[in-house]
Amino acid sequence: MTEPTIDITIDGRGVATVTMNRPDKHNAFDDGVIAELTAAFEALAANPEVRLMVLAAGGKSFSAGADLGWMQRMAGYSYEDNLRDANGLARMLKTLDSLPLPTIARVQGAAFGGAVGLVSCCDIAIASPRASFCLSEVKIGLIPATISPYVVAAMGQRAARRYSISAERFSAETAAQLGLVSEVVAEEDLDAAVETMIDTLLGNSPAAMRAAKQLIAEVSNRPIDEALIADTSERIARIRVSEEGQEGLGAFLEKRTPAWRKQEA
């Protein structure tokens, strides 16, 4: 039986950690890893006990992107085989990007190729100064196709143009300037910074965070017309009268801790 290449833990607070665990391969992924990640993300999305997810990796690298053995196999694939493989990766990225839970990428080392897509699909990315990034596909005659919608959304079209055609390696600090990374902290502070963000998120209404994440996805790039105004007005009205909306407003006005915070204390 094939050993799993990712580890999944869920603690008592409802914090799930998905860890890519191929340190000897620099956490490069192939079709098997992609299938495992997809299944993990789908399972967490369906689990009502999970409140947020951390995407992490073991070893020195976050992920080297595509596995060399996988690329060697793909070299002999037909167009139909390649299309099937590409659809698998695209589905995994879409599943991560649309996960209703808040997501944090913990980036401790190199994130190349498709790994930049993983980081782009997470809501928040916290990196150490040792982290580095590269859209390396053009170096071997390929393009960062399936990751491109998420990369462009994360770092902007101008930067995405430069780095997808130059394949330059760029630092965590540059990634932060571009918006790909949310925060850069010292190596020894990385876990503490992730934990601080976890604590911040746990202080918020789970239902409201899910609704806010969906809101941003659905209002982005829409014209501010009567339909959008009506839509956003309906969203705030619905959540104000929801159970967590009422609890949150009541806790604020009564100067007490909301129920969702008490539950994980």
Q: Dump pLDDT digits (tens) for 10-42.
A: 999 999 999 999 998 999 988 889 999 999 999
What's the pTM value of the predicted model, to 2 decimals?
A: 0.93
Which pair of tokens denotes residue 125?
């990315």
Residue 228, CB half-sphere, CA atoms under 13 Å: how many? Answer: 11
Report the distance separating Cα 188 and Cα 249, nearest Å.
Answer: 38
Please identify which residue in the block is written with the tokens 């462009």: 152
- Find the angle CA(213)-CA(130)-CA(196) to the nearest 5 degrees: 40
- Listed in order, the ranges of the chain carrying CATH 1.10.12.10 are 205-263
Q: Which fold has domain 205-263?
A: Lyase 2-enoyl-coa Hydratase; Chain  A, domain 2 (1.10.12)
Q: Decide if pLDDT at 2 tops 80.
A: no
Cβ burial of 5 (10 Å; 0-12, 13-18, 19+) is buried
Band of pLDDT at residue 191, cut at 50, 70 and 90: very high
Of the candidates 204, 199, 198, 211, the one whose C-alpha atom is nearest the C-alpha of residue 247 is 204
Of the candidates 156, 151, 85, the one whose C-alpha atom is nearest the C-alpha of residue 112 is 151
Q: What is the 3-state secondary structure (H, E, C) of 189-226?
A: HHHHHHHHHHHHHHCCCHHHHHHHHHHHHHHCCCCCCH
Cβ atoms of 168 and 134 within 8 Å: the answer is: yes
What homologous superfamily does CATH list for 6-201?
2-enoyl-CoA Hydratase; Chain A, domain 1 (3.90.226.10)
Average pLDDT over residues 227-240: 92
- Listed in order, the ranges of the chain carrying CATH 3.90.226.10 are 6-201
